[in-house]
Amino acid sequence: MDASRIYSVGDARRRAARAVPRALFDYIDGGADDEVTLQQNERAFQEVTFRPRMAGATGDPQVSTTLLGTPLSLPVLLAPCGLVRFMHPDGAPGIARAAAAAGTVSVLSTVAGSSLEEFATSSPGPKWFQLYSPGGPEQTEGLVGRAQRAGYDGLVVTLDTPALGHRERDVRHGVTQPFRFTPASASRLAAQVALRPRWVTGMVRAAVRARSGAAEPTDTSAGAAASPTARLVAMGASPFSWDDVTAIRHQWTGPLAVKGVLCADDARRAVEAGCDAVIVSNHGGRQLDGAPATLRVLPEIVDALGGTAAVVLDSGVRRGSDVVKAVAAGADAVMIGRPYLYGLATCGEAGVRRVLEILRIEMVRTLSLMGCPSVSALDRSWIELPSAI
């Protein structure tokens, strides 16, 4: 499909639903339990209004910035996401190339299904590695060492997965662990796959390429018998303590971020543990249903940190105007998960590029209409936060 025919993130979502089997789309799109946090994430952005200023700035507003010493052509990073190689044969390397072309950072998930060394060399752009450690401290040390040697520019430790969230859509499709394939659920899945022949062809071609050694999709495993993906899925958890974060800080010499912070106290603990950034995230509403929308807790965290660490927000960003709202509320940058996955599922690397292009165009237009010259000029005077936020 021609990626230029994607007009918005919502449009990419609709197209993704038609491109991949239903169970895979629901894995991308779904959230935990009643999906209340999933919905609240987007609603929080909709409730913020702008305070535009007329007849001020002229020319195209600047959207470039710098995060932890890395120049970004827009303040939007690609969040770590698992199992991306099943969404399109371009997989994680395609995501890295799209990020590099757009001038931003992509973050490889431990469970992306792609080797961390392969990902590190798949594009010239900056890359971070996201750490899960279902295998315990030894595996953590192994993965951190490999990320260091592979030259990653940043490390993200995900804290909000002491247990896996209950994703009811996945359960309904029979694709959560332990796999309970009944004849009925297996035939339902087979029927979904049969409806997406183009996806099947792409996956088969990728598998053949991998077998012939052209682009072997190995896991990020530190060489242990079971890969992190398999272990995470089997055990359903990657618990880290603050002591673990401190130990990782001693080993990892580059920028360090923790992901999943939702209150000021945890943000302060992250700084005490030596983190350079906190990622305000509820995992896109996929973990604790009932967790607050990230935009609602962002001001409290920004104020508590007072510039002692960078603040990145994710969960619910769907428009360039949402990026502007988050930066105005105090974030240094945002990450997106589903928006680029919808692009990937629709048409691979080109779809990811298109989603980033759309967000950039929307950001520039929003800042223009607000009369704001650049993202660096944004502060809370540009937005109206509802009293509940």
Ligand X SMILES: Cc1cc2nc3c(=O)[nH]c(=O)nc-3n(C[C@H](O)[C@H](O)[C@H](O)COP(=O)(O)O)c2cc1C
Q: Which residues contact 47 (CB under 8 A, 6 or more apart)?
A: 386, 388, 389
Q: Are 278 and 309 in contact (CB under 8 A)?
A: yes
What's the Cα-to-Cα distance from 181 to each of 20, 26, 171, 184, rounded to whole Å?
Answer: 20, 17, 11, 8
Asked whether 83 and 176 are in contact (CB, 8 A), the reply is no
Nearer to ligand X by Cβ, of 79 and 352: the residue is 79
Considering CB under 6 A, how many residues would be counted as binding ligand X? 25
Pick 89 or 316: Cβ nearer ligand X: 316
Structure tokens at 332: 């240094």
Stretch that binds ligand X, among 117-125, 138-146, 207-215, 281-289 (CB under 6 A): 281-289
In the residue annotation, 283 being an active-site residue is answered as yes
Query: Which of 88, 173, 250, 283 does the annotation list as catalytic?
Result: 283
Q: How far is the CB of 307 from ligand X (least distance, A)?
A: 24
DSSP 206-228: HHHHHHTTSS-------S-SS-H
Q: Collapsing DSSP states into helix, strand and coil, what is residue 109? A: strand
336 binds ligand X (CB under 6 A): yes
Under rule CB under 6 A, which residues in 145-184 are in contact with ligand X?
158
Helices in the chain by DSSP H: which ranges?
A: 9-19, 22-29, 36-47, 91-102, 116-120, 137-149, 168-173, 183-194, 197-211, 228-235, 242-251, 264-272, 294-305, 320-328, 338-370
Residue 50 or 132: the one with the smaller Cβ distance to ligand X is 132
- Give yes or no for residue 316 binding ligand X (CB under 6 A): yes
Q: How far is the CB of 208 from ligand X (least distance, A)?
A: 25
CA neighbor of 268 nearest in space, from 300, 292, 296, 244: 300
User: Which of 61, 337 has the CB closer to ligand X?
Assistant: 337
The answer to whether 344 touches 84, Cβ cutoff 8 Å, is: yes
> Is 130 a binder of ligand X (CB under 6 A)?
yes
- Least CB distance from residue 253 to ligand X, whole Å? 21
Please say which residue, 316 or 343, places its beta carbon nearer to ligand X.
316
Site string for ligand X, 64-103 (x = CB under 6 A): ---------------xxxx---------------------
Residue of this chain nearest to ligand X (CB atom): 337
Alpha-carbon distance 345 to 350, whole Å? 10
21 contributes a contact to ligand X by CB under 6 A: no
Residues labelled as active-site residues: 283
Binding site for ligand X (CB under 6 A): 27-28, 41, 79-82, 109, 111, 130, 158, 259, 281, 283-284, 286, 314-317, 336-339, 341
